[in-house]
Amino acid sequence: MANYLGIDVGSTTVKLCVLNAARETLYTSYVRHYSRVRECVLEELEKIASFGASFHVCITGSAGLGIAQRARLPFVQEVQAAYGAIRQCYPDADAAVELGGEDAKIIFLTGGAEQRMNGSCAGGTGAFIDQMATLLDIPVPEMDALSLRAERVYPIASRCGVFAKSDIQPLLNQGANKADIAASIFQAVVDQTVSGLAQGRKIAGKVLFLGGPLYFLKGLRRAFVRTLRLDAEHAVFPENAPCFMALGAALAAAREKEEPLEALRARLAAAQGHSDITVGEPLFASQAEYDAFVARHIRSDLAFENVLTYRGDAYLGIDSGSTTTKLILITPDCKILYSHYQSNNGQPLDIVADKLREIYALIGDRIVIRGACVTGYGEDMLRAALKADFGVVETMAHFKAALYFNPDVDFIIDIGGQDIKCFKVKNHAVDSIMLNEACSSGCGSFIQTFAKAMGMEIGEFSRLGLFAKHPVELGSRCTVFMNSSVKQAQKEGASVEDISAGLSASIVKNAIYKVIRARTPEELGQHIVVQGGTFLNDAVLRSFEKETGKEVVRPAIAGLMGAFGAALYAKENTPAETLISGIVTEAELGAFGYSSRAVICKGCTAHCSVNILTFADGRRFVSGNKCERGAGLPAARHAADLYAYKYEKLYALPQERKPSARGTVGLPVQLAMFEQLPLWTAFFETCGFFVTFSEKSSRELYFRGQHTVASDTACYPAKLLHGHIESLLDKNVDFIFYPCESYNIDEHDSVNHYNCPVVAYYPELLRANNERLTKENFIAPYLDLNDERSAVRALHRALKGWGLSAPLIRRALRAGFAAHAAFHADVVAEGRRILEEARRAGRHTVVLAGRPYHADPEINHGIGKLLNALGVAVLSEDAVFEEGEQVRVNVLNQWTYHARLYRAAEFASRQTDVDLVQLVSFGCGIDAITTDEVRAILERRGKLYTQIKIDEINNLGVVKIRLRSMLAAIEELGRKS
Amino acid sequence: MKHIEEAADFTASYPVFTPAMKATHTILIPDMLPWHFDLLVHVLRRAGYRVEVLHNEGRAVIDEGLKHVHNDTCFPALCVIGQYIDALKSGKYDPEHTAVLITQSGGGCRASNYIPLIRKALKAEFPAVPVLSLNFSGLEKGNSLRLSAADFLRLAYAIFYGDLIMTCFNQTKPYEKEAGSAARVRAQCVEQMKRALDGGAYRRFRRCAKDILDAFSALPVTGEKKIRVGIVGEIYVKYSPLGNSHLEEFLLSEGCEPVVPALMDFILYCVVNTVNDAKFYNKGKRTAWLFAIAYKWLYGKQKALIALMKKTRFAPLHDFGHLRRCADKVIHQGVKMGEGWLIPAEMTALAETGTENIVCAQPFGCLPNHIAGKGAVRAVKGLCPQANIVPVDYDPSATRVNQENRIKLMLATAKERARVQEKEPS
């Protein structure tokens, strides 16, 4: 009888497996399909002719679904296929973890069989690892080998590739060891799988590890085995792991009817892609149109000067960007002597040092560098390492450069490797700045990653798009989603040309509609300058012109504009008496060298991961620190940070334990409870309890509770709460008290006074997903604190086991409210003190406006300290909102915490020396509504609006740039008026 | 707000729907439940409003939504706004004489903010188009539909009839002997109910319901066994084919019977929450009794409907009182934002009545669903270990393959179990 054939078509590979009637494996294969799915399957089928003229066949895999449907062949869902194969090969297994190209799955076999698959927005898969290897610029096997030599693991977000990049890039720029980063990436994948998929169920017993990545990557294996604490006997890595699903499909094929191989091939060959995809217009109708386009843009070029013959002064600009490093040397009349543009490959410092040597060799003693200026992510480090004269925040550098090309410029858009920057210009000053958020960065590096995945250079890949006949519509949300859109388009038969053009259009649409949030192209302005390396790509440039309907200026040095702006800055700011730049000399460069070391700063409880670079001449540079202490400097004497003040004061609330205490009650320090800690502490202490708080937040605390997180896309404060609950359970409190409150306290300035759904009902989720919580040790009554009668009733009922009388509860509740009011009054008073002191000292003040629980340093990542270090005093929204007028806004003003934002903005809008920065938690749906209103309030009164998105990403590099840009723009605006 | 007259005004002006516009303006409403809306629209037209349900679909709708709505806003808002703008751009409607209508619950979920979002979106391109609200919370006074008590009554009946038609159709379609016969009867029933709503015969509730049941009962069915799949979740993506990528059709094509809970359950859920607020927090006591009466009346009608269904071969609708008891087993009825406790209640009720396979549909990042959807799955499974639940996120950029693959996994488990049960009949 015929053999069984299983075909597994995944997102990146095709796997085949042939079994005989006795279920013995005769043949397996594993190849990458490079998105040529159907062709690849057909080629593979040719190789199995020797195993029979006909087969029982079954297809599986994410990309197999469409093929099976179109060819009308049997299909089995891949997890089901794996399930079948496991029962056949490893009947004693307890669980299996399978990582594929785009999917991650866990199968529990014993103790209640269950199969789980990652959600639509989960990284931690093979594609994620590929993406990270591209970022490190090493092949995946090398990354694997490196990871085995790691000494430490950095926390890296693995939920989404874009997030991970924002964690990794700064590490690279700070000179962290690649081996450590590689291991951290694998650890992130493990954490993602264990927390995101297992969700509370323990992965224990005999565990199988399946799928390509787990088969090929030793470092990943090791990370899994260590995290799950498995021994060799219980961690099984099957020899046939990559083809396991194909094996499962072959087993499933036993139920299907026999099919001649020829018929099979004919069916697959005939299964043409039906066009489910939407296509747009070609970028250029003809070669002539393209030529005219090229000729027009050639006009915005800079002149060159021969570096080998020129004699005189020169200015050096260095832009150390997130993924590329740029250098430019110009003459005083702005002719280019030398320029360089290069991918970082991880070590910007080495690149710059190398190029400096090259420059010194070229200029000899004919040319004198009079000034040098550094900008970009690596600004601080390079400035310290190379002793450059100036540093300028990159937004200002770009602005300066654009002004040079068009003095009337009113809009600048810069799309770089990893970020998008847009500036609106009014009266020759930056009026507003828009930067992409962590999640919607459809930027240049995406095209690059994709080109590489197609085995092409970026230039070649984008050229292909220029004359595509039917560019594919790929959506405009985020790169991860675009990634699967691209795959789907390929499955539908779109050509590489169409996809290339489609990607260019996506990047442009993402920038215009999501980052700038323009509703119509007219909002952008009349004189647009586009820049950034991505715009060197003609397809992107053309897409931009088509989408906006405007002809724009793209300087030929579009990719070097940051460096050019820095050079201009050096030229403008070098005093006449300075004849030579202080930058490292040729001689010093000869002996240049450095070593890097990562340590945990013990300066305070924040425990920043800092990186110390030690240079050959003994100087040191510290990065990753949030305050002066990390850099080994004494702390600023007058901390003007209301966030830190509040947090410390909260933890000082509980009184000493009395021997007579009725019992111990634990309060978790997050979400709704955060602000109500004074209230409930006083309440329970009046009732005769000893009150204890959960541990202070940290990344470790988050990991401790991560396995009970039910919804991956909830905000970080909510997810962190799971750790707080674990901490209280470990403290052996008698019970945890955490009420559900649909309504917050009515502050009489909004239509209603709701809490957001997550804040209101999180106790329900905790109870449902943490098996350690019981009716006895977790007390979560439903309360409305605005109504004393019902609140007393509910508390009396909830605490009835503790023998508290209703009058006592009423008295305690009143004491609680008094403590709540006193705490608030103290915060307001301290806020006033900070503001007055800042005013006396002539310093600027920023209201960091978020939620009360953003005061947790693990949530705000020490932004307050950062602002203090930049010389700015920090207030919180709850300290100032009562000084703001009541406001009427466009949206339904119905949440207590959010109503404060509007009034805090109103307050800030009337002060000359106070600005407002809105802190927004990633995933906060309600802030999608409030941000527009806060912006409207500030902009109506001529203030800048700045928003900072925070998540578990513990890196303030981008935030720092944003805050410095804001301060520079405020200063500039102040100077103009 | 205390001092609203002194408040600093940051609002932008927007067009208001004046009473005169009733005669001159076409009112567009988004598509959510095609057959229910057919009946509801009929009632609104009777009341003198020129209403039209939008059926436009496709990438253009989603693209317009993406352009006009903030990245992090929920998917239903994006679909609805996309439909409006796409329709207005189609040239079929005169922007000077068109208005749009949206329902508003006034709860703590951001869905209550759809109106300002729609206004903002329209302002950019169609500044003359007013936005109307349909709500019971007294929001948007002067900009909401004005209906008589009799019309509200008609709307209620229309929903009951819609629920009954939908339920009978879903239980007939997978088993029909003659292809297309269930759809034909559905269309007939809808037309018949329209006439009933016109003439006042709608108040002969049992008669009308019986007509629907009889019409569907008369259809010959195969009697084969199919896998039943329940659909619960956020109200828009649960029902709207545009929102859930035609989930019902997909399930039918996979050889399953979709089990879609009634729309009236959501209405009752909203009504009960107001009653509960008074009970739990002494809140809104002055109006709560009205809601209590409405609840009693509606629930009575629903029970009558269930009694009628029990006499036929159709599995009856959920009894709302039973749903509340189901909720109490897994979550507190205080969870009242979005679809709140209704989701775990429906999951439990479905799992207990043999519909163990459930799709929990939610917009990507839906706030109430963190708690009541994904967050409650574990608790429901604790109660009904046989429950086979898959949460699916809907989003403008999530690919259909991704969603369908997850649903297929759930179905594979379901089919496996069905095979095992067949082998060892217990």
Of chain B, the percentage scoring pLDDT greater than 70 comes to 96
Q: What is the pLDDT of residues A171-217, one digit of tens each?
A: 776 667 889 999 999 998 888 887 777 766 778 889 999 988 898 99
- Cross-chain residue pair B370–A757, CB shorter than 8 Å: yes
Q: Is the pLDDT of residue B402 over 80?
A: no
CB within 8 Å of chain B, chain A residues 634-693: none
Distance from CA of A830 to the nearest CA of B (A): 27
Residue A337 has pLDDT above 90, yes or no: yes
Cβ contacts of A764 on chain B, cutoff 8 Å: 331-332, 335, 371-372, 375-376
**Bridge partners for A208 per DSSP:** A96, A236
Task: Assess whether pLDDT exceeds 90 at residue A456.
Answer: no
Determine which of A568-582, B24-38, B91-105, B126-140 has the lowest per-residue pLDDT on average: B126-140
Residue type, A126: G
Class of residue A585 by CB neighbours under 10 A (exposed 0-12, middle 13-18, buried 19+): middle
- Residue A478, chain B, CB below 8 Å: the answer is yes
Higher pLDDT, B140 or A876: A876
Residue of chain B nearest A482, judged by CA positions:
B397
Q: Return the exposure string of A273-293: e unless at least 16 CB atoms fall within 10 Å of the residue's CB, then b.
A: beeebbbbebbbeeeeebeeb
What's the mean pLDDT when you consider all of chain A?
86
- Residue A965: both structure tokens together: 């840009």
Whether residue A317 contacts residue A371, with contact meaning beta carbons closer than 8 Å, is answered with no
Take residue A967 and report the two structure tokens written for it.
Answer: 């301060």
Hey, how many other C-beta atoms are within 10 angstroms of the C-beta on A263? 10
Mutate to test the interface with B, among A77, A485, A787 (most CBs of B within 10 A): A77
Which residue type is seen at A873?
A
Q: pLDDT tier at A116 (50, 70, 90 boundaries)?
A: confident
Q: What is the pLDDT of residues A35-71, one digit of tens each?
A: 678 888 999 999 998 998 899 999 998 888 888 888 8
DSSP per position, A871-930: TEEEEEHHHHGGGSPPEE-SS---BHHHHHHHHHHHHHHT-SSEEEEEEEETT-TTHHHH
β-bridge mates for residue B228, sequence order: B257
Put simply, the chain A residues between 514 and 543 with a CB less than 8 A from any chain B CB are 514, 517, 519-520
Residue B322: its pLDDT value, please? 96
Q: Which contacts of A36-39 are long-range, i.e. CB under 8 A and separated by 24 or more positions?
A: A37/A9, A37/A63, A37/A67, A37/A490, A37/A491, A38/A67, A38/A268, A38/A269, A38/A271, A38/A273
CB A803 within 8 A of CB A673: no
Q: Report how far residue A357's alpha carbon sits from residue B333's, in angstroms, rounded to the nearest whole number.
A: 72
Region A751-775: what's the mean pLDDT?
93
Range of A496-505, A582-591, A664-673, B12-21 with top mean pLDDT: A664-673
The candidate with the shortest Cα–Cα distance to A782, out of B279, B93, B246, is B279
Q: Is A583 helix (H, G, I), strand (E, B) or coil?
A: coil
Whether chain B has a CB inside 8 Å of the CB on A484: the answer is yes
CB atoms under 10 Å from CB of A655, counted, come to 11
Query: Partners of A412 in the beta sheet?
Result: A423, A529
CA-closest candidate to residue A86, choices A105, A69, A68: A105
For the cut 90, the answer to whether the pLDDT of residue A588 exceeds it is no
What is residue A149's predicted lDDT score, i.e. its pLDDT?
92
> At A126, is the secondary structure helix, strand, or coil?
helix
Cβ atoms of A326 and A341 within 8 Å: the answer is: yes
State which H helix or E strand residue B131 sits in.
strand B131-134
Asked if the model's pLDDT at residue A159 lies above 70, the reply is no
- For the stretch B225-273, pLDDT in tens is 999 999 999 999 999 999 999 999 999 999 999 999 999 999 999 999 9
Q: What is the pLDDT of residues B315-360, one digit of tens each?
A: 999 999 999 999 999 999 999 999 999 999 999 999 999 899 999 9
Q: How far is A756 from chain B (nearest CA, A)?
A: 6
Q: Quote the pLDDT of residue A956.
A: 72
Which residues does chain A have within 8 Å of residue B106's beta carbon, measured at their own beta carbons? 752
Q: CB of A713 within 8 Å of any CB in chain B?
A: yes
Q: Give the model's pLDDT for residue A837.
A: 94
Contact B10 A764 (CB under 8 A): no
Q: Is A62 on the interface with B (CB under 8 A)?
A: yes
Question: With bands split at pLDDT 50, 70 and 90, how would you rate the model's confidence at A480?
Answer: low
A residues 728-767 near B, CB within 8 Å?
740, 742-743, 748-752, 754-758, 760-762, 764-765, 767
* Of the candidate ranges A489-503, A657-671, A757-771, B30-44, the one whose mean pLDDT is the lowest: A489-503
| A633: pLDDT strictly greater than 60 | no
Contact A784 B385 (CB under 8 A): no
Confidence at residue B178, expressed as pLDDT on a 0 to 100 scale: 94
- Angle subtended at Cα A125 by Cα B393 and Cα A47, rounded to the nearest 5 degrees: 110
What type of residue sits at position A252?
A: A
Q: What is the pLDDT of residue A971?
A: 81
- Return the pLDDT at A440: 45
Cβ separation A925–B332 shorter than 8 A: no
Express as a percent the part of chain A with pLDDT over 90: 42
- Decide if B13-147 and B227-261+318-423 have a common fold: yes
pLDDT band at B111 (very low <50, low <70, confident <90, very high): confident
Nearest residue of B to residue A941 by CA position?
Answer: B10
Using pLDDT thresholds of 50, 70 and 90, give the confidence band for residue B3. very low
- Is the distance from CB of A753 to CB of A747 less than 8 angstroms? yes
Q: Give CA–CA dist A741/A760, Å, rounded.
A: 5
Residues B52, B27 contacting (CB under 8 angstroms): yes
Q: Which helix (H) or strand (E) is A314 found in, with range?
A: strand A312-320
Using CA atoms in the order A291, A295, A300, A302, what is the torsion angle rounded to 10 degrees?
A: 100
Residues A822-859 pLDDT 10s: 999 999 999 999 999 999 999 999 999 999 999 999 99
Pairwise CB contact (< 8 Å): B112 & A513: no
Q: Using a CB-CB distance cutoff of 8 angstroms, which residues of chain A are in contact with residue B397?
A: 475-478, 481-482, 485
pLDDT at position A477 is 56
Tell me which amino acid residue A824 is: H
State mean pLDDT over A85-96. 90
B108 and A761 in contact by Cβ < 8 A? no
Of A153-162, A191-200, A444-453, B186-195, which one has max mean pLDDT?
B186-195
Q: Angle of helix B181-199 relative to helix B34-46, nearest 10 degrees?
A: 20
Measured between CA atoms, how close is A306 to chain B, in angstroms? 48
Backbone angles phi, psi at A598, to 5 degrees: -105, 130
CA distance A166 to A439: 10
Res A808 pLDDT > 90: yes
Is some CB atom of chain B closer than 8 A to the CB atom of A475?
Answer: yes
Q: CB within 8 A of A618, min separation 6: which ones? A: none
* Average pLDDT estimate for A556-583: 91
Q: Which among B67, B54, B127, B48 is positioned nearest to B95, based on CA atoms?
A: B127
* Closest-CA distance of chain B to residue A559, Å: 28
Mean pLDDT of B361-369: 89
Tokens of B160: 């009951």
Cβ contacts of A201-205, under 8 Å, gap ≥ 24 = A201/A108, A201/A114, A203/A95, A203/A97, A203/A106, A203/A228, A204/A94, A204/A95, A204/A228, A205/A93, A205/A94, A205/A95, A205/A110, A205/A234
Would you tell me which residues 79-138 of chain A have a C-beta closer than 8 angstroms to some C-beta of chain B?
79-80, 103, 112, 115, 117, 119-121
What are the structure tokens assigned to B219, written together? 């259809």
Q: How confident is the model at residue A418 (pLDDT cuts 50, 70, 90)?
A: low
Distance CA A931, CA B382 (A): 40
Is 70 exceeded by the pLDDT of residue A442? no
Nearest to A888 among B10, B283, B403 (CB): B10
Predicted confidence (pLDDT) per residue in A362-414, tens digit: 998 899 999 999 998 788 888 888 899 999 988 889 989 999 998 889 999 98
Task: Tell me the sheet residues that pair with A664.
Answer: A690
Listed in sequence order, the residues at least 6 apart from A775 whose beta carbon sits closer than 8 Å to its beta carbon are none
Distance from CA of B361 to the nearest CA of A (A): 12
Q: How confident is residue A762, by pLDDT bands cut at 50, 70 and 90? A: very high
- Of A759, A423, A752, A728, nearest to A565 (Cα)? A423
Identify whether the C-beta of residue A901 lies closer than 8 Å to the C-beta of residue A849. Answer: yes
DSSP-assigned letter for residue A798: H
CA pair distance A844, A960, nearest whole angstrom: 16
Q: Which bin fits A656, alpha (ψ -120 to 50), beta or left (φ > 0)?
A: beta
Q: Does residue B398 carry a pLDDT above 80?
A: no
pTM for the whole thing?
0.86
B84 Cα to chain A: minimum distance (Å)? 15
Distance CA A331, CA A366 (A): 12
Q: Which of A3-12, A520-529, A530-539, B201-210 comes out lowest in average pLDDT?
A: A520-529
Chain B contact probe: residue of A522, A892, A895, A935 with most B CBs at under 10 A: A892
Strand (E) or helix (H) holding B390: strand B388-394
Question: Under an 8 A CB cutoff, do A485 and B397 touch?
Answer: yes
- Please give the helix or strand (H or E) that residue B101 lies within, else none: strand B98-103
Could you report how far apart the first and last alpha carbons of chain A are, in Å? 89
H helix and E strand count, chain A: 35, 31
The mean per-residue pLDDT over the stretch B160-172 comes to: 97
Residues 890 through 929 of chain A touching chain B, CB cutoff 8 Å: 890-895, 902, 906, 923-929
> Rounded to whole angstroms, what are the CA distances from A222 to A99, A129, A145, A203, A236?
15, 15, 12, 16, 12
Show me where the domains of chain B are located. Answer: 13-147, 227-261+318-423
Judging contacts by C-beta atoms under 8 Å, the chain A residues touching residue B70 are 517, 928-929, 931-932
Pick the CATH number of B227-261+318-423 from 2.60.120, 3.40.50, 3.40.1130, 1.10.357: 3.40.50
CB of A882 within 8 Å of any CB in chain B?
Answer: no
CATH of B13-147 among 3.30.200, 2.60.40, 3.40.50, 3.40.630: 3.40.50
Structure tokens at B328: 């109490």
**What pLDDT, on a 0 to 100 scale, did the predictor assign at position B396?**
77
- Is residue B188 within 8 Å of residue B215, measured between CB atoms? yes
| pLDDT of amino acid B1 | 45
